[in-house]
């Protein structure tokens, strides 16, 4: 028996290493172009600064024939702006005057082109000193330009001593209602008092031009003197400290602010509101830090957490960059402002940061750890922008990742340094995995030339710019080493402060730091700038196909670009890839400094050991790529994961394996039977990262299997595999538990309740009943998400009414948002209609920024909600269109949950019947949603047998050969480069995926593949 086993595994080993051919790199059905991206999955992760998140926007068209960029023939030097905010009319307004000091940058300039839109302009005047220059001006709507032409002659030009002209314009407009430019908002301190008006701003990316005429592109930096005239009963805030307040007009006061640093227009902000503040002054009485919000929130102490942790984050970032925030400019202070209506979520205006109330206000009893960590990490993100974005600004929106990649990176690591909250662990499942997914759908590279119109600028606020940007920065940090990377960034900030930057600036400073520290010894072929360009100028990322010869230790690595939808694109791309790996003979998951950098399509690295032991690439998933192995090496990994070695493998690598195999199976690179065999280690797994990665994968798969017989079997499998981990986190918070234990329960318990685990259902029922008792017991804040939802599912209309009333009367916004997220869990159709009516009607109950959250809850709370919500939309189409701007988003929630061909056909027939009401563009979007539902059914049908195979037959068992004599050679970071190219590279040219039929390669592969297929049934 032992002899037989040895023989079989030797053959398997041979097959593994013999698979050094391209055919196993292609997808199972290479001829099939198959979409795997459906509407229930948001490729655009959680971009809380996404300016378009809340409704369909009517931005200017994306006309590629038009050059939307400002000419650089003039430049601004200094602005003086007066803004007058007037709430006394039935429609509140803003108006004022701007004087721009500007100069020509070359000879023969006869016009000045700046931005202005949706403004009434008066008294446009150009002066040189006290002399008025005769001009005419026109407004060009498509490009949102104000063009000022000299009637005769040209502007004086002197390079050595610029000739300064002053352009003065008076302007005015109603306060906007779409949360752009200067817009109006309102708040109440309690449900029974009247609403109070306020004005706030959102200028990024292209909305300063709605507030005043200006050079509204990031590279036109200047200084600003701002005066805000506001009603006497109000206060105002701006980026810099208040210099003085004067009385100039009856019932109004002028707040005159100190001059700003040299800055871009999109970073300006102002607020006029009857707000309260919590302030911190230095010993000289200068304002340093403050949190401002509606008085009802400040007086309840809800600003204390942001005040405390915000100061710590600012100090930590000051020390990390060796550039103190308060040294950026003598009149900068730090104001964190809570805004009731805020489409963008949060914004890094210099010195006046703005947030949705739920992202800033914290209540110790009522706010869950989930919202607490959101507050901490959004503060980190915006604070990091004070350096990456404000001090050094992306030169144009096509390199937005220079701002957002760093802000997202520090969102995790700055928070980790100050608050921990597991952020260094969470970066991988929350950022790397989401970035890999979005990046495998063939969208834009990080650096994306061709961005021009406001619509194309808006599209840059994407998961690629944020998540992938952060992931590539982290990969580079580990390539250079953390200290060297930090030094390079410090040099970059000093070198480019008060300027804009392009990627090459960053690369150059980092490379210099790397060379100075001797940290770039990756072989003579290695070029750091080429490395960075390969990841930023090319879209996508590779999967490494690793084939190990366990007898020689040779590991052959093939890199191929990974696509989540097979057949999407045949063109291969090579990346310059930092390599880390560790082996079962001497596991070391701590050293993340790469040992090699590979750039070719095929590379060979010697493992340094021989014998049958596992190898895992991409330690702690610091590299931005996926890894697939030959079958035999996967078997060795499975044995390790199912056995005692599991605890020696870093949880980030286990999470990587989980995420990789789910996506390999989805895209057709691996069978589901194989994927489940690998995932079976979850049955004994209790760590955070692999479970979070697993639940993401299972949720996607459960949505595919909804309506099929396999769903119940899959649900049972998940419950069985989760039994051990749920035994460690339980359903009741323990006094001594860590944040991560609590956070794991927060994520797992809702799924356990949805899968109807009795312990979860009972716990939820009892806790919701206790909350409604005569002597109520509040549900622990961290358990409310699943207790409320599951309690509603098991409850009646009275339970809904109780929580609906709680929503309407609660003073803590995080609790209100949570309630909106769960109210759709009711199974009572009347209650669900009450909820949906409240969303689409004009009232003061649910704010427009929260419409999509609430409606999504209504549709997805239960499987049967889909048709109830669809019926509601059919009955109330005009109201739905009015509330959301169009019916596309709410109808996309419906179409994503259509589970049968009949329901899809009925949906399409209805959409066609109301085509005129929907409008042409919306109708096309709605029909695309129906097609995605049909694609989903087709995809599911194609994998059902494969999935069934595992669900029926369960795990395969694997063994290893007897111990082979090992010759261990330690792999060290100093060992370079050790990469050899195969004697006969057998990958076809990069743009061909499969060899031509009958080619030598095909024949060879066919034979080995058949041979392995014959052996395969015995390898059990």
Nearest distance in Å: CB 385, Zn ion: 6
User: Hey, what's the torsion of the CAs at 957, 961, 963, 969, to 10 degrees?
Assistant: -90
* 347 or 358: CB nearest Zn ion: 347
Which residue is closest to Zn ion by CB? Answer: 407
Q: In terms of Cα–Cα distance, which of 656, 728, 724, 648 is closest to 693?
A: 656
> Alpha carbon of 122 to those of 62, 138, 213: distances in Å?
29, 12, 11
Nearest distance in Å: CB 202, Zn ion: 13
Q: Would you call 50 helix, strand, or coil by DSSP? A: coil
A 10 A CB-CB count for 518 gives 8
Stretch that binds Zn ion, among 43-51, 72-80, 249-257, 702-710 (CB under 5 A): 43-51
Peptide bond into 205 cis (omega under 30): yes
* 409 or 688: CB nearest Zn ion: 409
* 407 or 803: CB nearest Zn ion: 407
Peptide bond into 612 cis (omega under 30): no
For the chain, the distance separating the N- and C-terminal CA atoms, rounded to the nearest angstrom, is 13
Sign of CA dihedral 372, 373, 376, 377: negative
Stretch that binds Zn ion, among 159-167, 404-412, 628-636, 788-796 (CB under 5 A): 404-412
Nearest distance in Å: CB 378, Zn ion: 9
Stretch that binds Zn ion, among 48-56, 848-856, 920-928, 960-968 (CB under 5 A): 48-56
- CB of 580 closer than 8 Å to CB of 557: no
CB contact set of 1006 (below 8 Å; sequence gap of 6+):
none
Nearest distance in Å: CB 465, Zn ion: 9
* 49 or 419: CB nearest Zn ion: 49
- What DSSP designation does 465 have? I
* 216 or 404: CB nearest Zn ion: 404
Q: In terms of Cα–Cα distance, which of 1007, 616, 429 is closest to 1015?
A: 1007
- CB of 649 closer than 8 Å to CB of 614: no
Stretch that binds Zn ion, among 405-413, 690-698, 771-779, 860-868 (CB under 5 A): 405-413
Active site (annotated) includes residue 357 = no
* 328 or 783: CB nearest Zn ion: 328
Sign of CA dihedral 510, 516, 520, 524: positive
- CB of 697 closer than 8 Å to CB of 690: no
Nearest distance in Å: CB 391, Zn ion: 14
> Alpha carbon of 884 to those of 164, 268, 357, 889, 982: distances in Å?
47, 28, 21, 8, 58
Stretch that binds Zn ion, among 397-405, 919-927, 960-968, 969-977 (CB under 5 A): 397-405
Q: In whole angstroms, what is the distance from residue 930 CA to residue 936 CA?
A: 10
Q: Which two tokens stand for residue 962?
A: 């007897």
| Residue 51 engages Zn ion in binding (rule: CB under 5 A) | no
Nearest distance in Å: CB 461, Zn ion: 8
Nearest distance in Å: CB 407, Zn ion: 4
Q: In whole angstroms, what is the distance from residue 1020 CA to residue 4 CA?
A: 12
938 φ, ψ to 5°?
A: -65, -45
- CB of 368 closer than 8 Å to CB of 742: no
Quote the Cα angle for 227-233-237, to 5°.
40
- CB of 852 closer than 8 Å to CB of 889: yes
* 404 or 477: CB nearest Zn ion: 404
* 407 or 932: CB nearest Zn ion: 407
Nearest distance in Å: CB 502, Zn ion: 19
Nearest distance in Å: CB 344, Zn ion: 10
| Residue 407 engages Zn ion in binding (rule: CB under 5 A) | yes
* 334 or 407: CB nearest Zn ion: 407
* 206 or 993: CB nearest Zn ion: 206
Total of residues contacting Zn ion (CB under 5 A): 3
- What DSSP designation does 979 have? E
Q: In terms of Cα–Cα distance, which of 236, 192, 221 is closest to 83?
A: 236
Q: In whole angstroms, what is the distance from residue 620 CA to residue 589 CA?
A: 7
| Residue 473 engages Zn ion in binding (rule: CB under 5 A) | no
- Among the residues of 497-603, which ranges form H helices? 503-516, 528-536
Residue in the structure block whose two tokens are 């990469």:
979
Q: In whole angstroms, what is the distance from residue 321 CA to residue 315 CA?
A: 10
Nearest distance in Å: CB 266, Zn ion: 12
* 234 or 359: CB nearest Zn ion: 359
Q: In terms of Cα–Cα distance, which of 701, 686, 695 is closest to 741?
A: 686
Q: Which two tokens stand for residue 856?
A: 């999504």
Nearest distance in Å: CB 504, Zn ion: 22
> Of residues 217, 382, 404, 908, which has the active-site annotation?
382
Residues involved in catalysis: 382
Where along the sequence are the contacts to Zn ion (CB under 5 A)? 49, 404, 407
């Amino acid at each position: 028996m032992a002899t037989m086993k040895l023989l079989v595994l030797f053959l398997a080993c041979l097959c593994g290493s013999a698979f050094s051919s391209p055919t196993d790199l292609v997808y199972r059905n290479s001829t099939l172009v198959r979409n795997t991206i459906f509407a229930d999955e948001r490729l655009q992760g959680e971009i809380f600064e996404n300016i378009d998140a809340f409704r369909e926007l009517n931005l200017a068209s994306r006309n590629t024939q038009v050059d939307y960029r400002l000419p650089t023939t003039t430049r601004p030097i200094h602005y003086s702006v007066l803004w007058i905010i007037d709430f006394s009319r039935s429609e509140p307004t803003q108006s004022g005057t701007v004087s721009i000091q500007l100069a020509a940058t070359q000879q023969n300039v006869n016009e000045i082109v700046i931005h202005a839109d949706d403004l009434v302009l008066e008294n446009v005047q150009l002066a040189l000193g006290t002399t008025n220059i005769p001009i005419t001006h026109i407004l060009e709507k498509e490009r949102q330009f104000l063009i000022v032409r000299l009637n005769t002659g040209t502007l004086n030009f002197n390079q050595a001593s610029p000739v300064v002209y002053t352009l003065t314009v008076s302007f005015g407009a109603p306060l906007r209602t779409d949360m752009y430019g200067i817009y109006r908002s309102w708040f109440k301190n309690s449900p029974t008092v009247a609403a109070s008006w306020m004005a706030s701003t959102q200028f990024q990316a292209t909305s300063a031009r709605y507030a005043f005429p200006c050079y509204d592109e990031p590279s036109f930096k200047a200084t600003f003197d701002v005066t805000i005239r506001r009603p006497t009963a109000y206060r105002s805030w701006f980026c810099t400290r208040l210099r003085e307040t004067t009385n100039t007009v009856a019932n109004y006061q002028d707040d005159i602010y100190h001059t700003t640093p040299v800055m871009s227009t999109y970073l300006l902000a102002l607020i006029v509101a009857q707000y309260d503040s919590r302030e911190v002054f230095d010993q000289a009485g200068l304002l340093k830090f403050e949190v401002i919000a509606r008085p009802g929130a400040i007086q309840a102490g809800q600003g204390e957490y942001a005040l405390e942790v915000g100061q710590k984050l600012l100090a930590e970032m000051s020390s990390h960059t060796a550039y103190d925030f308060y040294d950026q400019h003598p009149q900068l202070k730090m104001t964190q402002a809570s805004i009731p209506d805020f489409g963008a979520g949060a914004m890094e205006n210099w010195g006046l940061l703005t947030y949705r109330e739920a992202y800033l206000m914290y209540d110790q009893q009522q706010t869950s750890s989930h919202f607490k960590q959101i507050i901490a990490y959004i503060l980190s993100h915006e604070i990091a922008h004070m350096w990456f974005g404000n001090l050094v600004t992306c030169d144009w929106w096509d390199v937005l990742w220079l701002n957002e990649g760093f802000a997202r990176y520090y969102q995790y690591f700055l928070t980790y340094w100050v608050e921990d909250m597991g952020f260094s662990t969470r970066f991988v499942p929350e950022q790397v995995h989401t970035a890999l997914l979005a990046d495998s759908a063939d969208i834009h590279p990080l650096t994306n030339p061709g961005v021009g119109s406001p619509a194309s600028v808006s599209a840059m606020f994407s998961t690629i710019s944020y998540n992938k940007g952060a992931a590539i920065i982290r990969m580079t940090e580990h390539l250079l080493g953390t200290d060297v990377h930090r030094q390079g960034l410090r040099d970059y900030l000093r070198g480019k402060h008060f300027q804009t930057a392009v990627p090459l600036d960053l690369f150059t400073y980092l490379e210099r730091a790397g060379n100075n520290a001797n940290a770039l010894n990756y072989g003579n072929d290695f070029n750091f700038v080429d490395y960075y360009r390969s990841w930023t100028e090319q879209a996508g990322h590779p999967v490494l196909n690793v084939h190990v010869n366990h007898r020689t230790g040779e590991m052959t690595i093939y890199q191929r670009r990974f696509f989540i939808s097979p057949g999407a694109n045949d063109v291969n791309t090579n990346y310059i890839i930092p390599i880390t790996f560790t082996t079962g003979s001497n596991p070391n998951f701590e050293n993340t400094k790469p040992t090699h950098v590979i750039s070719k399509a095929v590379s060979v690295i010697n493992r340094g050991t021989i014998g049958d032991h596992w190898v895992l690439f991409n330690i702690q998933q610091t590299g931005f790529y996926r890894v697939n192995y030959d079958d035999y090496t996967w078997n060795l990994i499975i044995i390790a994961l199912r056995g005692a070695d599991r605890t020696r493998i870093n949880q980030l690598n286990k999470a990587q394996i989980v995420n990789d195999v789910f996506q390999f199976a989805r895209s057709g690179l691996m069978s589901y039977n194989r994927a489940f065999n690998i995932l079976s280690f979850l049955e004994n797994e209790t760590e955070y990262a692999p479970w979070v990665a697993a639940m993401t994968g299972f949720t996607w798969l459960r949505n595919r299997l909804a309506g099929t017989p396999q769903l119940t079997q899959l649900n049972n499998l998940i419950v069985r595999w989760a039994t051990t981990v749920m035994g460690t986190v339980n359903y009741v918070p323990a006094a001594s538990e860590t944040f991560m234990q609590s956070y794991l329960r927060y994520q797992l318990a809702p799924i356990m309740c949805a899968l109807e685990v009795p312990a979860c259902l009972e716990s939820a029922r009892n806790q919701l009943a206790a909350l409604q008792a005569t002597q109520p017991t509040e549900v622990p804040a961290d358990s409310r998400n699943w207790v409320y939802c599951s309690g509603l599912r098991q409850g009646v209309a009275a339970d809904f009414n109780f929580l609906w009333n709680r929503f309407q009367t609660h003073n803590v916004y995080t609790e209100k948002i949570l309630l909106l997220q769960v109210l759709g869990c009711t199974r009572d159709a009347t209650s669900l209609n009450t909820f949906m009516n409240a969303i689409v009607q004009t009232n003061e109950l649910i704010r427009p920024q929260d419409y999509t959250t609430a409606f999504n809850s209504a549709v997805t709370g239960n499987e049967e909600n889909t048709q109830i919500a669809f019926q509601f939309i059919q009955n109330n189409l005009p109201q739905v269109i009015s509330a959301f701007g169009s019916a596309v988003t709410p109808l996309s929630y419906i179409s994503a949950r259509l589970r049968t061909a009949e329901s899809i056909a009925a949906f399409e027939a209805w959409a066609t019947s109301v085509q005129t009401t929907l409008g042409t563009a919306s109708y096309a979007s709605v029909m695309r949603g129906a097609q995605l539902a049909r694609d989903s059914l087709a995809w599911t049908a194609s994998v059902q047998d494969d999935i069934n195979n595992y669900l029926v037959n369960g795990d395969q068992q694997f063994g290893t050969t007897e111990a082979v004599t090992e010759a261990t050679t330690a792999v060290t970071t100093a060992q370079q480069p050790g990469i050899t190219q195969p004697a006969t590279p057998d990958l076809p040219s990069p743009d061909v995926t499969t060899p031509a039929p009958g080619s030598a390669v095909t024949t060879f592969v066919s034979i080995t593949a058949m041979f392995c297929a014959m052996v395969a049934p015995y390898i059990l």
